[in-house]
Structure 1
Amino acid sequence: MKTAPSTSTQPETFADKLLGFTLPGRNARGRVVRLDGVVNEVLSAHDYPAPITHLLGEALVLGALMGSLLKEEGGQLTMQAQTQAGVVSLLVCDYRGGSMRGYVDFDQAELAGLGANPGLSALFGEGYLAITFETAAGQRYQGIVPLEGDTLAEACETYFSQSEQVPTIIRVASRSSGTGRVAAGLLVQHLPDGEEGRERLHVRMDHPDWEHVLALASTISHEELLDPSLSMEAIAWRLFSEDDEIRIQRGADLERGCRCSAEYYQSVIARFPREEQEAMQDEGGRIIVDCAFCSREFAIEI
């Protein structure tokens, strides 16, 4: 029997936290996320222009949505978009247990010539998107798809369709706010034979249950995703109120989590031969390491 979110004894979820839900009667699962403080912490590491803050905000949302699909603690999702001839040469973000980080490398002069709202093809040209899931035990699963479509979300839908054979809809919204930027997203998937331990090669994109779920999920608007007064539980309930049962699972708290440290870089440098370490040193005998994610420099002495 359904219970409206407003009657729950737990507080509703509004920002910087993941929310999962399942529709048992339709064999579907979903994730909702809204980033506020987290996205602004990540963006504050660099003075990104507006088109890049929009792009990275979208990427962080996608990283959280897809990373939350990992069932094991200690697993990591890494998303990397790259091209050899685009304005954006590299976009990378990762997610691990609620910890998020991201970075974009781009040509400032070329970006200035694209106008206020460049599309994905204008930013990347003929690039590719690599999505890597890594388990806590170190097993890695990677899928690579072309950067096609108008948004990163569309490229991720292609990944799930081609690499995972899982019908998926993803919607992402990002905009400037009075305090910086807010970004949000919805991911819904159809798993016809249940979530656990099934073969996916026979998945039907035209399954009646999926067509029903897709039609409802497609009605989500950018305004609803970004509305600070609308809880993520309310989003799920609004979309799928026709279904008999909606199971809500509150997920991880989200935070910026760059894992750089002097100790970590020292351990990496120690793996290089002594002559190579000496070649890296500056005049003061230190090796200066710059973390692109958090824009911090570390002076490593050997």
Structure 2
Amino acid sequence: MTDVRLAERPELPDRLPLPVVDNHCHLDIRRDDAPEVALRQVISEAASVGVDRLVQIGCDIGSARWTAAVVDEHPALLGGVAIHPNEVPRHEAAGDLDDVLDEIASLAQHPRIRVIGETGLDYYRTGPDGVAVQQESFRRHIALAKRLGLALQIHDRDAHDDVLRILVEEGAPERTVLHCYSGDMEMARECVRRGYYLSFAGTVTFRSAKDLRDALSVTPMEHLLVETDAPYLTPTPHRGRANAPYLVPHTVRAMAATLNTSVPQLCQALSDNSEHVYGPWS
């Protein structure tokens, strides 16, 4: 049965006053029933509302290969590659985990791949038998990011304590990003103390997300990034539809309201932080 909400594309929001970066999206993924949109149109629509740079994340071996190819074709894109924690136990069971991690290391040497990620831990979908191999894979991705001098983007679902512990044990890369930040206020303070960046997605706009907005409220602007995680986590007022980079302005404006700051000031910080973490796009 067709999901009517996914089949309808939200209208473009008002343009942001200054350009920003969607620092985490999956442009190779289309949700069931969502209309297919050409990549050039996705990039053009985002630019038309002030989202002029994107970080495309490939988190399985197929999407990592696609990412390494597509960043050469589109100047608005930089890339990240990794094996997502939910994929790791499957490769371990298939006996090819070492091979795919070796290929990730090779793809990561592309000059427009600037991120190792998303890596990390996910205890929501992976049972206890997958915990040890997830943690080992996370450690190997951390080591790769440090060896290549790249940023690290972390997926953390129901695993806050172990993520923070492993980052201490391994030594976090200089530029470490908590993608789609989901912790509380105290964790945010600890991440800031350690120098990490917190990337907020459309979830911060949800009415039920008071704890997330509290965490945002104690995060200095020099530690903030914004993302869509498209095609997922669509911000209010379009929750339930497919997400896309052109919807970032909804999240930016909600963040500015929570921080009690102006939208232009936040946009400038988000842009500056993104360039510091990932380097120049041109």
TM-score (ref. length: structure 2): 0.31
Greater strand content: 1
TM-score of the pair, normalised by structure 1: 0.30
- Structure of higher CA gyration radius: 1
